[in-house]
Amino acid sequence: MTRSCLARLLPAFLLVPALGTIAATALAEGGKKKAPAESAEASGGGTKYREACKDGNTKYAARDFVAAIAVYQKAIELDPNNALGHYFLGEAQLAAGNLIEAEAAWNRASLAASDKEPALRARVLFVLADLKERQKKWDEARAAWQVYLDWAAKFPNAGAFPGSGQSRQQAIDSMKKQDTAYAVVRQRIADTKAGGVFTDLSKSPPPR
């Protein structure tokens, strides 16, 4: 994608508050890449892809997430190797409450971005780790945050936030530690109830 193309696209992407920051960063990184192959332009990519993304962002801003999903999918069909389209699709799927579909889209975005678009992939790794927390998959979430931290260390100029990743890992560790401690208490309460033993110390025992 050429810099002139990026200049035309940037205002459209910034229409969407939730996507504006990553769009700007990703597009800036994308400006360093070579333009798509001529065959891609001729087969319907290029301008049509950018128009589809712009339309999708407009629908996302209007909170018409179902329509945004459809338009982003159209954009991906036009340029399946463009990581930004997959990222946008994941955001729309998440907003629509489709967590599994969002994860699938972001995984594709992560593979497409790789080290060619470090800023975009940093954002994708962030939302993937956050998604694991939403799904309450704590071990997977912690591992995902570590992948994010490793990427941030590898590409210090990618705009990642290592402090956020570290704090999220610490929160997960703390939660798991408390859960382990309370597990013993919960088991004692369950055993007590099962045995019919009076346990409410704030009241007097019932008369025999």
Measuring CA to CA, which residue among 87, 32, 26 is closest to residue 57?
Answer: 87
Query: Quick one: pLDDT at residue 46?
Result: 85
Query: Quick one: pLDDT at residue 189?
Result: 79
Which band of pLDDT confidence, cut at 50, 70 and 90, is reported for residue 24?
A: very low
Query: Quick one: pLDDT at residue 201?
Result: 53
> Mean of the pLDDT values across residues 156-161?
94
Is the pLDDT at 32 greater than 70, yes or no? no
Query: Quick one: pLDDT at residue 116?
Result: 85
Query: Quick one: pLDDT at residue 29?
Result: 37
Q: What are phi and psi of 16, to 5 degrees?
A: -105, 105
- Rounded to 10°, the helix 17-30/3-13 angle is 170
Q: Which residue has the higher pLDDT, 63 or 41?
A: 63
Query: Quick one: pLDDT at residue 98?
Result: 97
Query: Quick one: pLDDT at residue 140?
Result: 97
> Mean of the pLDDT values across residues 76-83?
95
> Mean of the pLDDT values across residues 20-39?
36
Q: Which of 5-19, 33-47, 116-130 has the lowest mean pLDDT?
A: 5-19
Which band of pLDDT confidence, cut at 50, 70 and 90, is reported for residue 197?
A: low
Q: In this predicted model, what pLDDT tens digit does every residue of 172-181 receive, in sequence order?
A: 999 888 878 7
User: Given CA atoms 98, 55, 85, 133 in this order, what sign does their dihedral have?
Assistant: negative
Query: Quick one: pLDDT at residue 199?
Result: 55
Domain boundaries, the chain: 1-116, 136-196
Separation between Cα atoms, residue 163 and residue 157, nearest integer Å: 15
Q: Which residue has the higher pLDDT, 151 or 36?
A: 151
Topology (CATH) of 1-116: 1.25.40
Q: In this predicted model, what pLDDT tens digit does every residue of 98-129 receive, in sequence order?
A: 999 999 999 999 999 988 899 999 999 999 99
Q: In this predicted model, what pLDDT tens digit does every residue of 46-67 receive, in sequence order?
A: 899 999 999 999 999 999 999 9
By the 10 Å C-beta count (0-12 exposed, 13-18 middle, 19+ buried), 204 is classed as: exposed
Measuring CA to CA, which residue among 97, 95, 128, 98 is closest to residue 113?
Answer: 128
Q: Which of 13-17, 58-62, 116-120, 195-199 has the lowest mean pLDDT?
A: 13-17
Quick check: pTM over 0.85?
no
